[in-house]
Structure 1
Amino acid sequence: MLMPAAILGALIVVATNTEIGTDLPMEIGMLRDAADRKGNFDMGAASEATSNKLGEAGAGSNYRTTSDGFFESADGLRLYRQPDWKPGQRQWQSNFMSRNVPRGQ
């Protein structure tokens, strides 16, 4: 089980077969928001492929995949949860999260 993590940003994920025209500057801005802002906030919308690409970039090059399917940074401080259906919100959503201490500490 993962240690508690704060959700930093939620990215709305559109249908998997739809690309919604994100470009590199927009993607960099989304990642910057996920790193700089605190609390739960909306990061915008992207395709599943773009969301996962941003999740990999946010977790860093040496990330690992946890038993729960999260991408976890090598230092254990940043996590990305791949798109999941949120029935209460009636939408797919991925989450960018952080911890104050690495997993297991």
Structure 2
Amino acid sequence: MPDHFHCIITLGAYNFDNGVSNVYTVHEPYIRSQKTDLQEYIKLRRRMLLFKVIGKLKMQTSKQINILYNTPGTKTWQRDYYDHVIKDDGEFQRIKRYIQDNPRNWKGLGESGSKA
């Protein structure tokens, strides 16, 4: 798709069938290796709110794109994003299927993202 992408971001524990047998949080290896008290660690770590995760994704990908194309400071993302809370496994499966099928359904746009 030339002008957007879809993804599912999970925050915290969930019990949807996503086909993954083991899901570890980003901080779990650190907790194990440092043998710190979990409650103390949670107080110290930065809260990763969704808008911060999306902001970091946009910043890092824009930086890499601009390095690759030698276009420093060029805007690569739209300002906003669309989010939706998935409430149950049925909805999770439907959205996952939509994301998998979406590229096959993409018609009428060329590589540049403009109408052919």
Shared fold per TM-score greater than 0.5? no
User: Which is richer in helix?
Assistant: 2
- TM-score, length basis structure 2: 0.27
Pick 1 or 2: higher relative contact order, CA cutoff 8 A, min separation 6: 2
More strand by share: 1
